[in-house]
Structure 1
Amino acid sequence: MIEYATKITALYSRLSVGDEDRDGGESNSIVNQKAFLEQYAKQHKLMNIRHYIDDDESGRFFDRSAYTQMISDVENGKIGIVIMKDMTRWGRDYLQVGNAMEIFRRNNVRFIAINNGIDSKDQNTLEFAPFINIMSEWYARDISKKVKTGIKTKGASGKPVATEAPYGYIKDPNNKDYWIVDKEAAEVVKLIFTLFME
């Protein structure tokens, strides 16, 4: 533990685009990830913690601001350990994750993915990491295909694909798959069109 005492213990959290569960600032999932990582660091007596947080960021892209800063800090010798809740917080491109793991190895940075049981100190767990990354990427692509198919099917059946009704409509209280005209908003819409035509 002494070799890591003077360096930063990086606690990395990421949440994908579209989490609506917020209390003003950070999403509740990020708050929970931070608490989980802090508890792990405390239990293992890891000091000098610093959070790197990408909230509302896709795992498909690696130009995320906190992630980029963390990699820069690794390359500048500031970080000794990187801890994440699991490999999916890192990203969904197994080649990019592999490149980052090589950066960690070159800079003698220990990597821990808690829920995956991966700790670079243990070579046996580290060898399993690429398989987790490949499955994670496959899962993301599979989900994407299923969601697109579901949206197309729903749209083709005449049902709205948006979760919120557009201005001028409200969800039908008797059938959530249909919209009805919002009489109050309809007057505003008519006024907008009238003013536009003048």
Structure 2
Amino acid sequence: MATKINKRRAKNQVSIEELVVENREAAHKMAAYFLRRWAVRMDEEEVRSLADLALCEAAKRYRGPTLSKFTTYLYYYIKGELVRAIKRECQNSSLARLNDPDSSDKSAENVSVHERDELGQCSAQSPEEECEASELRGGFKRAFKTLTGLEKEIIFHVYVNEFKVASVARKLGYSRGHVSDMRRRALNKMRDLMEPFKEAA
């Protein structure tokens, strides 16, 4: 029994190490991408260290391809790690300016108000929650694309424009019963296609 457990642990360890080795370069590129997108400057060595830290944590927690491929999972871990680092830098810079108003430390001042709001929103969910939400959004889009033109129009008017079924029927020139049946059929079709994504989440 102990031998089986040890073998399983060794296998898991190898899998983690393989994920780290195979995705290290991608992790560094992802980190650089986020910093460019947010227009934030950071020491290159520190960026690599943060990316490596996020990569190791993601590799340990990854549950396999049932939810998403590893690079998608890693994307949210790196984003979260960078968000925390930038927030710490912003807080440290604010404290430094309070203690020394003439301080020349400008390392975090280039983060605009809009970008700070974006960073705040990024950290509102855990990497797992963000990844699951992304997969569900992707699943919804793919399911929606399978609908006919009329089904899409009905779903859009009812759930986006929030029109009553009777109003949609008048607008499209169909009976209320026909539109109601089409809506139910479209929802059932989407529900069936979305089921694997809900189970994975």
Query: Is the strand fraction higher in 1 or 2?
Result: 1
Q: 1 or 2, which has the higher helix percentage?
A: 2
Quick check: TM above 0.5? no
Higher RCO (CA-CA < 8 Å; seq separation 6+): 2
TM-score w.r.t. the length of structure 2 is 0.28
